[in-house]
Amino acid sequence: MAREWVEFIQSQDLPWEQGFVRENIEIKTLSIDDETGASSLLLRYPPGWSTEGVHHLLVDEEFLVLDGDLK
């Protein structure tokens, strides 16, 4: 079964959590599917964050840059 429909989330009221997605990255969990583990998250990268070498994910990731730039 798919995740429940959520009409609106007050994301500003959710806490920022540390580091289980990537080191030094903060996240807010918007939703999690209990059956599949699929989730929707907000990630906050600190200024100047980078990673070395090739980096692969097992999931899709979409970036929306609200401030600054992404290279």
Beta bridge partners of 41: 29
pLDDT in tens, the chain (71 residues): 566 666 677 888 999 998 677 778 899 988 888 888 888 888 888 888 888 888 787 878 888 888 888 87
Cβ 30 vs Cβ 16: under 8 Å: no
Q: Collapsing DSSP states into helix, strand and coil, what is residue 53? A: coil
> pTM here?
0.69
57: its two tokens: 């994910």
Beta bridge partners of 44: 26
